[in-house]
Structure 1
Amino acid sequence: MKTMKPWYLSRTIWAALVTILTGAAGLAGASPEQVDETALTDALLQGVGAIAGLVALFGRLSATDRIG
């Protein structure tokens, strides 16, 4: 592998982070029965939207080429 990519584009890193967070939540006593599925879905979608916005903004601010 000669090319490099940012860590946040790695599916392996994201899968590992989700696994770690899920395990930590289980250790902390979180139970799937206590989760409101609708609220969880809304929160996840809002989080993904916020992260996507930040990535887009950061990408544009750090770009070296013009959009054209």
Structure 2
Amino acid sequence: MEGIFGTMKNEIFYGRDCTNTTLNELEVKMDGHIVWHNEKRQKRSLGSMSSLQYRRSLGLAA
């Protein structure tokens, strides 16, 4: 969990002014990041597959 939150902080918060960001906008950004992290981000350690692709290849996800 620490890894995803660290990446999320780097990509969503650092270097950006979030003073006028609403909680709803923040929720949308965080949801989008989680989807990207699980379904689209390719990891070399998983054979250049996303987490979801890897779990599907093992028969652990539908």
**TM-score > 0.5 by shorter chain:** no
Rg: which structure is higher? 1
Higher RCO (C-alpha under 8 Å, 6+ residues apart): 2
Instruction: Give me the TM-score of the superposition, normalised by structure 1.
Output: 0.40
**Larger helix fraction of residues:** 1
TM-score (norm 2): 0.42
